[in-house]
Amino acid sequence: MRFIILSTKSILILASVFLLLSFKCSSTANRTEAKPKPAVAFNLITEKQFNDLFPQRNPFYTYSAFIRAVKELGLIKIQITRRAVSVYQFIRTDKSTGKATTIRQDVYWNEHWAKVKPDSTYIVDYGNFCTESDILTNKKELAAFFANIAHETRHGENGSYTDGLMLTHESNTSLDYLSDSDEYPPVKGKKYYGRGPMQLSYNGNYGYASDCIFGDHRILLNNPDLVMTDPVVAFKAAIYFWMTPQTHKPAAHDVMIGKWKQNAGDKAAGRIPGFGMVIDIINGAVECNKGDNALGMQDRIAFYKHFLAKLGASDPNCVCSCGKMKPY
């Protein structure tokens, strides 16, 4: 066996080269680990199934727009902190970059009286839409979401369950739907009637949705028509409404996956977990606490059961009715 004897100078040169290569490899590895994770794949429904669920849909509502909305909004996470009764701070994180931005902090945020009680903080991760639980629960949530957007946008024969996603806005567009809001004041000349799959309405909801979707409340306040002219924005607005708790209402998402827990007020009002609670969140003032034969409520329930069967899911213990639930 032959041995190669290296000089001290040669050894030093080789050591330098080794250290340089080690540094480059380590740097490359670190850069690879720092790359953002891709959006969660949404595999609950195929394009064929989507088209089968909504055979008479307006061409505006496409499967590709729905999937794109799910994936793009799924990269957004909002931390919502409430002080006092209604003093808010929103921190919006883009999970693709890790960048967190404070997009709303109300004027009274730092007032002493607002800081007296502990803050209430919760996080809305839009990537959890129909993905947070087991496959059956996720399908039940998707069926519930589809049932409500089908009812909100239907324009056809009763009992056919083929006429969802036909309307892009509510029939009566003469109403302004304006409300007092310091954070989301209406823009002069704009109307905030119901638009999109979930019929988003009122300037407060448009501004709130715009903060969450775009990180800028002015986009939808200035141009509410985006919810009925851009199909991706339309579906994002519906998912935002589904996923985001309101001041006194839980998120429909949390109800459908069993995350929502009743408080004493809910129990006294007859509000219990199940599909009926989702109806109470969305349109309780019109459809709930009116007995089990309210037409709007019954239509939502029928759509829900129809879509469950189509998606190969079931809800045998469904509390579907909100007939005895008091609205918020």
Query: What pLDDT is stored for residue 41 in this prediction?
Result: 56
Does residue 164 sit in helix, strand or coil? Answer: coil
- For the domain bounded by 168-244, which CATH number is listed? 3.30.20.10
Domain boundaries, the chain: 42-74+129-166+246-328, 76-125, 168-244
Tokens standing for residue 91: 């921190």
The model carries a pTM of 0.87
Query: What pLDDT is stored for residue 247 in this prediction?
Result: 83
Helices 135-153 and 275-287 sit at what angle, rounded to 10 degrees?
20
Rounded distance between C-alpha atoms, residue 197 and residue 164, angstroms:
9
CATH fold for domain 42-74+129-166+246-328: Lysozyme (1.10.530)
Query: What pLDDT is stored for residue 169 in this prediction?
Result: 98
Q: List all residues 6 or more positions away from 153 whose beta carbon is below 8 Å from its beta carbon.
A: 164, 165, 166, 167, 168, 197, 199
**Among 71, 77, 73, which Cα is nearest to 42's?**
71
Query: What pLDDT is stored for residue 42 in this prediction?
Result: 79
Query: What pLDDT is stored for residue 103 in this prediction?
Result: 98
Query: What pLDDT is stored for residue 13 in this prediction?
Result: 40
Query: What pLDDT is stored for residue 43 in this prediction?
Result: 86
What positions carry a catalytic annotation? 152
**Among 92, 145, 136, 139, which Cα is nearest to 253's?**
145
Query: What pLDDT is stored for residue 233 in this prediction?
Result: 98
User: Tokens 């806005």 belong to which residue?
Assistant: 169
H helical segments located in 129-274:
135-153, 203-214, 218-222, 226-229, 231-243, 252-256, 264-268
pLDDT mean by block of 10 residues, the chain; 328 residues: 38 39 39 43 89 98 98 98 94 97 97 95 97 97 98 96 98 94 96 97 97 98 98 98 94 98 96 98 97 97 98 95 97
CB neighbours of residue 221 within 10 Å: 22
Looking at the DSSP assignment, which residues form a beta bridge with residue 93?
77, 100
